[in-house]
Amino acid sequence: MTANSETVNHNTENIKLGLNVFLWTILSAILNFIILLSLTTIATGLSTKTIGERIVEISDDGKRTVLTEIYYDKTTTSSTDKTTAIQSSSASSNSSSTEITASSSSNGGTSSSSSSNTNKSGNTTVAGDKTTQTGTTLPENQRREGIRTEMTAGASLALDIISQLFMLILFVSMAYSKVWERGDKDRNSVQFGRMSEDKSRGIQVGLYAAIPSVIFYIVLVLSKLGFVSDGYYFFYRFLNITFIPFINRVVGTGIFKTSKVSWLSLLGILMTLIILPLICHIAYLLGYKQISLSEKFIYKDSKKRKKLRKF
């Protein structure tokens, strides 16, 4: 085999391994999305409390319209409606009942039972309105949502740190294990003369695996320059879901337009592109030197280590 053909085969293997690593990062992104949702739900439940509820109407095109909001009283278990829907209905019913009662009184005692029945009917109407507003019987395009207090700055920071840590560990482990195994196999191939040594192979694989992320980032820069839709940043966050807690801290929450993202923040996001090639480089070197991090932290019998030597 000539040197040129060996180089071509070597590059082809690197591309295939880079594609394999990229596919594993997609799987880690899906799992990380589940982790993020789970941790966010837990943190929200522990650090916030329900202070009211709202009725939301959803149109056919997905547009949300808040119909009413009810905030619970701080001192009692009753609720205070912040809209006028119930109040106007109640006022109308009470006014009608008062007029009938007054008319009954002027016409004599024989109309008192009619007044009583009319008053009960009015109260029933108000109760029906309240039932609808609290969401026990709502149309199909309406739903009730709880209103909760906002998460404190400290709780939000703790959530971002913990979620980013868990997501990064999963991301690293999936990319690391594949490249470590390749480094371990290459060491044996070099020792038996089947291939030449190339300790930069790990970073080459990492660069191939990072090509899609680089493309997504280039499009983000083009969006900042005005060549791509200003709403691209909203989608970019989910394309880079593994680092979304870090990105939210760098850019800030509540920003969904690329034009609102500063150039300094874009530079901070660029740092996330370095992580995958760096992981692959370190994993390959450790695999090539047959240094297993798992064996450093997890005890194994010396006889089993040779059989189960992995990353």
Rounded mean pLDDT of 4-31? 86
**Is pLDDT at 242 greater than 50 in this prediction?**
yes
Q: What is the pLDDT of residue 39?
A: 95
Statement: residue 90 has pLDDT above 80: no
Q: Is the dihedral of CA 221, 224, 228, 232 positive or negative?
A: positive
User: CA 113: distance to chain centroid?
Assistant: 61
pLDDT digits (tens, 9 = 90+) for 143-172: 888 888 888 999 999 999 999 999 999 999
Question: Measured in whole angstroms, how far is the alpha carbon of residue 207 from the centre of its chain?
Answer: 27
Residue range 267-280: average pLDDT? 95
Indicate the pTM of the whole model: 0.69
What average pLDDT does this structure show over 197-225?
Answer: 95
**Which helix H or strand E contains 192, and what residues bound it?**
none
In contact, 90 and 171? CB cutoff 8 Å: no
CA distances to 64, 97, 108 from 117, rounded to whole Å, are: 40, 10, 16
pLDDT of 32 higher than 90: yes
Is 16 a residue whose pLDDT tops 80? yes
Range name among 204-213, 243-252, 267-276, 287-296 with the lowest pLDDT average: 287-296
Predicted local confidence at residue 263, as pLDDT = 96
Amino acid, res. 24? W
pLDDT in tens, 283-294: 999 999 988 887
Give the three-class secondary structure for 75: coil
Sequence-ordered alpha helix ranges (H) in 192-271: 201-209, 211-225, 232-239, 244-251, 263-270
Residue-wise pLDDT tens digits, 106-120: 444 443 333 334 343
Tell me which residue of 35, 20, 23 sits closest to 244, measured CA to CA.
Answer: 35
Sheet holding 142-148, edge to edge: 79-81, 64-72, 50-58, 142-148
Q: Residue 241 CA to chain centroid, in angstroms?
A: 7
pLDDT at 102 over 90: no
**What pLDDT was estimated at residue 91?**
39
pLDDT of residue 133 exceeding 80, the answer is no
Q: Buried (b) or exposed (e) across 171-193, using 16+ Cβ within 10 A?
A: bbebbbbbbbbbbbebeeeeeee
What is the average pLDDT across 250-267?
A: 93
What is the average pLDDT value for the chain, to the nearest integer?
79
pLDDT at 229 over 90: yes
Residues 6+ apart with CB under 8 A from 153: none
What is the predicted pLDDT for the residue at 273? 95
> What confidence tier does 246 reach under pLDDT thresholds 50, 70, 90?
very high
> What's the whole-number mean pLDDT along residues 17-28?
95
Task: Summarize the confidence of residues 131-138 as an average pLDDT.
Answer: 56
For 51-65, 113-127, 186-200, which range has the lowest pLDDT when averaged over its residues?
Answer: 113-127
Say whether pLDDT at 76 is over 50: no
